[in-house]
Structure 1
Amino acid sequence: MNPLQAQELAADHRIDITAETCPMTFVRTRLALDRMEKGQTLLVRLRGEEPRRNVPRTAGEQGHAVLAQQDLPDGTMLLLLRKG
């Protein structure tokens, strides 16, 4: 099991935003983060080039940590965030 898979199993919260488009991808991510306690982790599954660039960047700008990113064979990406 790679490290992201191990962290994925231990994520405190998970959201799937593969059906969303920007800017709703980060809106949904931010809403999830807003409901979490500081230090908790959120696993985000997303799709598309724009969300791949914008969600991690914007999360970092808002004080959250990007712990891991992994591209999957189905064209989606897993993004593990820690609420700051």
Structure 2
Amino acid sequence: MNNSSAASLPTPDDRLDLRGTPCPLNFVRTKLRLQKLPPGQLLEVWLDPGDPIEQVPDSLHAAGYPVAAIVNCGNYFALQVRQSTAV
């Protein structure tokens, strides 16, 4: 997992703003969006500090989705995750 700056992140194929969305809804919505993406595509999810950024990356990893980067953007976090290439 890469904790880099927003300027060095690759451009995502899709973006999902989940600021203000409570756990576990933010994980569910992220997973549903990922399932709509073709294999290998990159989704950027904007999450609040606290429980969302602490729990969503771990839940995604446990579900088999590789987290590519997490960036602290000040008042929110940008998490980049790939749709699994496994069939």
Task: For 1:26-65, list aligned pairs within 5 A.
Answer: 26-65=27-66
Larger fraction in helix:
1
Unaligned runs of 5+ in 1: none
For residue 5 of structure 1, the aligned residue among 1, 4, 7 is 7
Q: Structure 1-normalised TM-score?
A: 0.86
- Residue matched to 1:82: 82
Give the total of aligned pairs: 81
Secondary structure of the structure 1 residue equivalent to 2:9: helix
Equivalent pairs: percent with the same residue?
30
Correspondence list, 1:12-31, <5 A: 12-31=13-32
Contact 2:70 2:79 in 1 (8 A): yes
Per residue, is there more strand in 1 or in 2? 1
* Runs of 4+, deviation exceeding 2 Å: 2-8
Unaligned 5+ segments in structure 2 are: none
Secondary structure at the aligned position of 1:37 is classed as: coil
RMSD of aligned alpha carbons = 1.6
TM-score, reference length from structure 2: 0.83
Report if aligned partners of 2:5, 2:71 keep a CA contact under 8 Å in 1.
no
Structure with greater contact order relative to length (CA < 8 Å, sep ≥ 6): 2
